[in-house]
Structure 1
């Protein structure tokens, strides 16, 4: 099974669909959260809606949510809303799928308040950032950048398998291409990789997929 940890394709079954809290609730597995670029004057009501939706059994995670240095939303408000979503994830015991753009130094401290796993999705930064995140207990999810980014491939080669997830995010390429690339990078059989990722899914999501 090629499990797609984070994707935006509603009809895709084997993975976690990133549900927009304004759309009809998916029958498949999904996550839901308040993305930094969706923060507006209605954020309190939207957080309440997310809390309601996220209690459904097929909601496997909170997110994507986090910090983004490229959006116009005030940084302190972003941090406040991210913190609230982590606290809620703690309460319902579901992991958090983290969106982070140009705010990695600020992100690190949030691990201290999390009682659930934090998974940085779409990771494509340098080795030093990966090592720092791993040292703080974060998981990393790799997407299509792994197919062509040589520096990222070198970084991924040395990351323990028990801290990795794979995703397509918004890319239309099939998830198996990302699996095949990581198996090639790590020089392991694809079936071994699939088994190890599935173990991570069970461990982090506390759920039998």
Structure 2
């Protein structure tokens, strides 16, 4: 059984756990949700009048098919002021804690702030940095502060620090994803990750199923 922990596309297969990520708006309805999904308020799509979307997220995230909160987080490249992003992110941290669901984190140029928020919140639920592809020093710092990781297309590229991260990261601290890449299959990510870790794809499948179960309770 393969797990695509973070994808923006619907894919159906008997041997795939496809965790589809949706940004919640005020108009999102439960009938539109996939069988397995992660819901959040993404900083790219938030407006100053975000409260209606937030109240909808509070309701929808209680449904059993919602296995995680997010993606959500901080992004210094988007137009929403970082102070407002932080308020919205903190509410989603609290929501993840109250529902006992992991938090899927989007972070761009704000890792110091992210670590500070995690220290402040002292969460019981895991925080998963999705699509990680930053330099080794950032990776080591996040690992030391208890973050989990979801690796995607970056591991197919010739980036030594990402390859080293995959090769050496503790078994229970990562998952794999395709994100928004419709041209990418999760099988490709598994094959490369298994190669880097010098294990079989079957062994990797077993490891990641166990990690997914611990993270989500499923």
The residue that corresponds to 1:19 in the other structure is 22
Gaps of 5+ in 1: none
The residue that corresponds to 1:202 in the other structure is 213
TM-score, normalisation: structure 2: 0.91
TM-score, normalisation: structure 1: 0.95
CA contact (8 A) 2:11 2:18 kept: no
Q: For 1:104, which of 108, 111, 116 is the aligned residue?
A: 111
CA RMSD of aligned residues (A): 1.3
1:139-154 matched pairs, under 5 angstroms: 139-151=148-160, 152-154=162-164
CA contact (8 A) 1:108 1:133 kept: yes
Alignment coverage as a number of residue pairs:
207
65-74 or 111-120: which moved more? 111-120
The residue that corresponds to 2:130 in the other structure is 121
The reply on whether 1:137 has 2:140 as its aligned counterpart is no
Q: What displacement does 1:174 show?
A: 0.5
Gaps of 5+ in 2: none
The residue that corresponds to 1:67 in the other structure is 74
- Distance in 1, matches of 2:82 and 2:12, equals 34
CA contact (8 A) 1:140 1:163 kept: yes
Runs of 4+ aligned structure 1 residues displaced above 3 Å come to: none
The Cα offsets for residues 127-175 of structure 1, whole Å up to 9 and x where unpaired, read as: 1111111111110110011101322112221111210110000112110
CA contact (8 A) 1:111 1:138 kept: no
